[in-house]
Chain A
């Protein structure tokens, strides 16, 4: 089912991570990213590797899904690894002197660590945010975290409303695209053969009706919202109020320990210092 794309990232569940407050989750994700970039030596990276296992255990998501999530990054991962192996100059050459290129031990270590960092970065933030939080909860979280910005006239509510509506209409518009494509195919258009420019041109008869219908839908929706007394963010209440629980406190504690651990390992643990 194509219409599932918008929710394809979210894995239904009721784990420890699923039940965290989305506002906190966004903060946790930021903390986690900062911690990853703080890690400087092999021991700190050991802790990073441990952290991703812990996150996975707390999320209750099948490992297969996480691996699948990394697949689109394969090229970038391979590319950074190769660059690091061949370009980094270190002190311990691994190949005979007279070869026309040289590989250093430092380069290989660097490559391994940087690949680990990219993988953990993507998997960790996905586990914290997209896999365990519904898009709606995420939007709510962002709206409330940014709420203070409304004081300096930044349209936070409008922004989150737009996000909500966009999320709501993704499946509808995908369905519509399917319909229009079938209709155009029935009239003999061909989307799958020919040069790239030809194929791009074949998309025009799909995009034009799609845009027209999207505008029509937008107008209908605006009328419907007006009829339901929508007048913007002022004076609006919410049915689901976000609550922080003990779980958020526990998670905060875990992350603080994690960050502190990385900093301490950076300072006190001996070993190779990572250069990037």
Chain B
């Protein structure tokens, strides 16, 4: 397994106007993302998660540090427009607001947009669009108007647009934040399936702890740095630190943590409510 994205000591500041000082959004961030992995990035508002996503998509260039995409150093001096374009063909992004990322009025036209930009011949685009729509389960909406779809469906169309370009890695920048619970589930199911069945690397930026538990690995950010990095079980068992960083933990973890504080011997790395209930029942039985 090789690293599709490798960041070394990335720093980035938003340049302020004349009277406002620059805002340091990222400070010395380093990590590697393996191909085919599912990484969740957690953090409260303003911790630099979205800035990081935009750096990875080459929307911003880091002030300091090195960023490698697919082995290519994107911060080297000889990086040209062509290299950036090339990196964007590998790493795609799905944004937060479903309304602001769809370009065309008809579903299939929108899915085709990225492929059209790559200059792929017409028949091949057609094939890729149909496949991508099948993958997200939206084939029967191919000729529908985009503005009539629900939020979850719009996000799935946005995902289809990214898959149609055959990207190896997709960054979801709070793509579930503006959806209702139903839409969120639709999108999360699609994301998980893409990762498992298609082997696409997923970087999922989110506020929702239960979504983070589905990942292989969780990065927790606070004030522009990565403060925790590990499997969901490892990260969430450090409840105290998470609370200090202004984050929640999954409800099951919180309950188990409180049980432990009350003197029960329970594991903390359980996210399934059923199993959590069993663990608690067992701990109570043992205590008696």
Tell whether A pairs with B. yes
Tell me if A229 and B88 are in contact (CB < 8 A). yes
Say yes or no: is B145 at the interface (Cβ < 8 Å to chain A). yes
Say yes or no: is A122 at the interface (Cβ < 8 Å to chain B). no
Q: Which residues of A contact B146 (CB under 8 A)?
A: 168
Q: What DSSP secondary structure best describes chain B's contact surface? A: helix
Among A201-227, those with CB < 8 Å from B are 217, 220-221, 223-227
Say yes or no: is A165 at the interface (Cβ < 8 Å to chain B). yes
**Extra 15 A-B pairs, beta carbons < 8 Å, given A220-B95, A241-B122:** A136-B105, A164-B104, A168-B102, A171-B147, A172-B147, A217-B100, A221-B100, A221-B103, A228-B88, A229-B117, A237-B121, A237-B122, A238-B116, A238-B122, A240-B112
In the complex the two chains form, what is the Cα distance from A220 to B174 in whole Å? Answer: 14
Q: Which residues of B contact A238 (CB under 8 A)?
A: 112, 116, 122
> Chain A residue with minimal CB distance to B89?
A229
Q: B residues within 8 Å of A by Cβ?
A: 54, 57, 59, 85, 88-89, 92-93, 95, 97, 99-106, 108-109, 112-122, 125-126, 129, 145-147, 161-162, 165
Say yes or no: is A236 at the interface (Cβ < 8 Å to chain B). yes
The 10 A-B pairs with the shortest beta carbon distances in the complex, nearest first, are A220-B100, A224-B101, A239-B112, A228-B114, A171-B147, A239-B125, A229-B117, A235-B119, A227-B93, A217-B100
12 pairs across A/B with beta carbons < 8 Å?
A136-B106, A172-B99, A223-B54, A224-B101, A224-B103, A228-B113, A228-B165, A229-B89, A229-B118, A236-B119, A239-B115, A240-B109
Q: Quick one: given A224-B95, A229-B114, A239-B115, are A164 and B57 in contact (CB under 8 Å)? A: no
Q: Which residues of A contact B113 (CB under 8 A)?
A: 228, 230
Q: Which residues of B contact A236 (CB under 8 A)?
A: 116-117, 119
Among A163-209, those with CB < 8 Å from B are 164-165, 167-168, 171-172, 175
Q: Which residues of A contact B122 (CB under 8 A)?
A: 237-241
Q: Specify which of A136, A164, A231 is in contact with B85 (CB 8 Å cutoff).
A: A231
Q: Specify which of B54, B103, B106 is in contact with A165 (CB 8 Å cutoff).
A: B103
In the complex the two chains form, what is the Cα distance from A167 to B103 in whole Å? Answer: 10
Question: Min CB distance, A124 to chain B, in Å?
Answer: 26
Q: Which residues of B contact A168 (CB under 8 A)?
A: 102-105, 146-147
Question: Min CB distance, B250 to chain A, in Å?
Answer: 30
Tell me if A220 and B103 are in contact (CB < 8 A). no
Say yes or no: is A7 at the interface (Cβ < 8 Å to chain B). yes
Say yes or no: is A149 at the interface (Cβ < 8 Å to chain B). no
In the complex the two chains form, what is the Cα distance from A236 to B112 in whole Å? Answer: 11
Tell me if B105 and A164 are in contact (CB < 8 A). yes
In the complex the two chains form, what is the Cα distance from A240 to B109 in whole Å? Answer: 8
Question: Min CB distance, B41 to chain A, in Å?
Answer: 17
In the complex the two chains form, what is the Cα distance from A230 to B125 in whole Å? Answer: 16
* Number of A-B residue pairs at CB separation under 8 A: 98
> Chain B residue with minimal CB distance to A7?
B145
Among A227-268, those with CB < 8 Å from B are 227-231, 235-241
Tell me if B85 and A217 are in contact (CB < 8 A). no
Q: Which residues of B contact A164 (CB under 8 A)?
A: 103-105
Q: Specify which of B95, B105, B120, B125 is in contact with A167 (CB 8 Å cutoff).
A: B105
Tell me if A239 and B119 are in contact (CB < 8 A). no
Say yes or no: is A3 at the interface (Cβ < 8 Å to chain B). yes
Q: Which residues of A contact B126 (CB under 8 A)?
A: 239
Q: Of residues B59, B85, B147, which shows the largest number of chain A Cβ atoms within 10 Å of its Cβ? A: B147
Question: Min CB distance, A218 to chain B, in Å?
Answer: 9
> Chain A residue with minimal CB distance to B119?
A235
> Chain B residue with minimal CB distance to A139?
B105
> Chain B residue with minimal CB distance to A217?
B100
Q: Of residues A136, A227, A240, which shows the largest number of chain B Cβ atoms within 10 Å of its Cβ? A: A227
In the complex the two chains form, what is the Cα distance from A224 to B88 in whole Å? Answer: 11
In the complex the two chains form, what is the Cα distance from A221 to B165 in whole Å? Answer: 18
Q: Quick one: given A136-B105, A168-B102, A220-B101, are A228 and B161 in contact (CB under 8 Å)? A: yes
In the complex the two chains form, what is the Cα distance from A235 to B121 in whole Å? Answer: 11
Say yes or no: is A135 at the interface (Cβ < 8 Å to chain B). yes
